[in-house]
Amino acid sequence: MGDVTPPAGARDFLDGLGWQGARVAPLAGDASFRRYFRVVAGARRAILMDAPPPHEDPRPFLTVARWLHERGFGAPEIYGEALDQGLVLLEDFGDDRMREAIDAGAPPQPLYARAVRTLIELHAQPAGPFAPHDLALLTQGTETFAQWYCGTLGIATAGYAEAWAAVLPLGLPEHPVTTLRDYHAENLMLLPGDRLGLLDFQDATAGHPAYDLVSLLQDARRDVEPAIEAAMLRLYADETGRGDAFDASYHVLGAQRNTRILGVFTRLWKRDGKPRYPTLCPRVWRYLEHDLAHPALASVKAWFDAHIPPALRGDPMLLAARAA
């Protein structure tokens, strides 16, 4: 879990918000420098986010949280902030997370349907005042794969950028919506009244509505059954009227996202010393190969088939060790 000591200044920060004498206990963190603590004072509970500058800046999180909260979506309420220290006190959504509920035996399809309907509601709103998820950002994601995954395994990348340039425009929206960008079962809390609590949305952009569907239904951290993915895509299409063009964009963004994740997970191991992430890569490769089978991705599939044989599609840490 890393350092479990509350950050310097946390006690004064909490005291100033009326949480004198509260107990502060660590919670699991994520792939960033952010840390989280549960704060308990009698019957009251809250979450303390430690986003230490200069590594982290909580302001994007606060901006998106308030935008979502004002529109009735389940972003945590902000109880207080000290931006110079990177401290934020948040509403506590409890421990009933979608990932664990499914792992414990809850039927997955109703929970995924709840998550898809939340996206449908979000996509009915005009996009928030967030940076565009444009061609430059999509291209940056594919370049992460070339730099870190291909670079680590010595895979030549001639023609890679050109293959992607032919298809990435299909990932650009005609009418942008708010994309939370990390919308999956580990970031969705189950709240009363069939509501969902949203987490980890500080990188929100104005992008294509298919992006968060991919994030949900091609989840790097857990297997989503193909039948669930197909049913949820039908649900989204039935309720929004999306057709074949949307399906092509879904798979292009799926391939782009999964390619980026393979690069990011390799970087988290190589640069940041986090060896858990490469172990997730075989699952991401399965999703990527599923997306590459769509006709819209013919040029990208041809590049992958020519440059990355099946033997080099997997856990980059294990593959690098075998090659050493």
Average pLDDT, the chain: 95
Give residue 28's pLDDT band: very low, low, confident or very high (50, 70, 90): confident
**How many of the other CB atoms lie within 10 Å of CB of 203?**
15
* Whether residues 120 and 162 fall in one domain: yes
The CATH number of the domain holding residue 83 is 3.30.200.20
Say which residue the tokens 């879904």 belong to: 250
Helix and strand tally (H, E) in the chain? 13, 9
* Whether residues 171 and 51 fall in one domain: no
* Whether residues 38 and 108 fall in one domain: no
- How many distinct structural domains can be found in the chain? 2
**pLDDT tens for residues 162-175?**
999 999 999 999 99
Contact partners, residue 26, CB within 8 Å, separation at least 6: 1, 4, 35, 36, 37, 38
**pLDDT tens for residues 248-288?**
999 999 999 999 999 999 999 999 999 999 999 999 999 99
**pLDDT tens for residues 92-139?**
999 999 999 999 999 999 999 999 999 999 999 999 999 999 999 999
Say which residue the tokens 């709840």 belong to: 114
Give residue 31's pLDDT band: very low, low, confident or very high (50, 70, 90): low
Amino acid at 221: R
Helix (H), strand (E) at residue 235: helix 226-240
Contact 183, 216 (CB under 8 A): yes
Give residue 32's pLDDT band: very low, low, confident or very high (50, 70, 90): low
Q: What is the pTM of this model?
A: 0.92
Domain boundary among 39, 63, 91: 91
* Whether residues 165 and 229 fall in one domain: yes
Is residue 21 assigned to a domain?
A: yes
Strands 35-41 and 44-50: antiparallel
| CA within 13 Å, CB half, 207 | 26
Look up residue 101 and give its two tokens: 């509920």
Contact 235, 254 (CB under 8 A): no
Give whole-number Cα distances, 38 to 49, 93, 112, in Å. Answer: 9, 11, 27
* Whether residues 178 and 74 fall in one domain: no
Is residue 3 assigned to a domain?
A: no
Tell me the C-alpha distance between 7 and 53, whole Å: 12
Contact 108, 228 (CB under 8 A): yes
Range of the domain at 199: 98-323
Tell me the C-alpha distance between 24 and 27, whole Å: 10
Is residue 277 assigned to a domain?
A: yes
| More confident site: 7 or 154 | 154
